Amino acid sequence: MLTVGVLALQGDVREHVRALEAAGVDAVTVRRPAELEHLDGLVLPGGESTTIVKLARIFDLLEPLRARVAGGLPVYGSCAGMILLADRVDTGAAAAGGDGIDTTFGGLDITVRRNAFGRQVDSFEQDIAIEGVPGEPVRAVFIRAPWVQQVGPAATAIGSTADGHVVAVRQGPLLATSFHPEMTGDLRVHALFAQMVADSRG
C-alpha cells in the first residue's frame, strides 16, 4: 500500500488523514525529518503559511522538505499548502491579511497572492471544474484562500473560479488547490493525488 504523509505542524491535519485513508492509501503524520524518508507522497494542509514555515525551521524540516520536493516526491498542497509549494509569493499591499512569508518549500512555477479572497468573514463556496477530476464540478470551500496570480510555463492551471481566478494547478508530481476538498466529503481531489502518487511509483 502507498504511504502518504500529512505535514502535521499546524492546520487541518486530521481531515486530510481521513480523506487519504478513504482514498485507499496509508496516511501518516509527519513532524520530523526522519519521517519524510519512506513516504510515497506528502500533503501540505491548510493553516497559516507563515506559522508552518516557522515551525518547519524549529523542527529542522525546512531543508529536508525542500530536498524531497526537488527530488520529485509527489506533493499536494491545499490553501496554505499551495502557498508553501509556490516558487513566488506576492507579499505586497494587495496581499494584506497577515505577516509576509519569507520563504517557501517551492517546486511550483507559480506566483500566489496570500489571503487573496479576503479574511475569514469572506469565506465562501463555489463549484469548480477541475481537469483530471471526472464527473460534476467539485464543491470548493475557500477560507482566507490564496489565488494564483501568475502561472509560469512549467505549471498548468487546471481549475478557475467563475470570475477567472486560477485556484488549482498541477506540475509534474505536484498538485495544489486554493480550496479545502478535505472539508466536503468529496474524495475526488484526494483520489486524483493518490493516482499521481501511484503513477510516480510506476
Q: Distances in Å between the alpha carbon of 142 and those of 26, 55, 107, 123? A: 27, 24, 23, 5
Q: Active-site residue among 79, 125, 165, 190?
A: 79
| Enclosing domain of residue 175 | 3-201
d(CA 78, CA 93): 23
**What number of other Cβ atoms are within 10 A of residue 98's Cβ?**
14
Rounded to two decimals, the pTM is: 0.93
d(CA 33, CA 31): 7
Q: Can 79 be counted among the known catalytic residues? A: yes
pLDDT at 154: 98
Q: CATH number of the domain that 10 lies in? A: 3.40.50.880
Q: How many domains does the chain have?
A: 1
Q: Can 190 be counted among the known catalytic residues? A: no
Q: Active-site residue among 16, 48, 165, 180?
A: 180
Per-residue pLDDT of the chain (202 residues; tens, 9 = 90+): 999 999 999 988 999 999 999 999 999 999 999 999 999 999 999 989 999 999 999 999 999 999 999 999 999 999 999 999 999 998 654 444 455 688 999 999 999 998 887 776 668 899 999 999 999 999 999 988 999 999 999 999 999 999 999 999 999 999 999 999 999 989 999 999 999 999 998 7
Q: Residue 76: which H helix or E strand, with range? A: strand 75-78
| Upper half-sphere CA count for residue 118 (Cβ side, 13 Å) | 6
Q: Can 15 be counted among the known catalytic residues? A: no
Q: Active-site residue among 15, 48, 165, 182?
A: 182
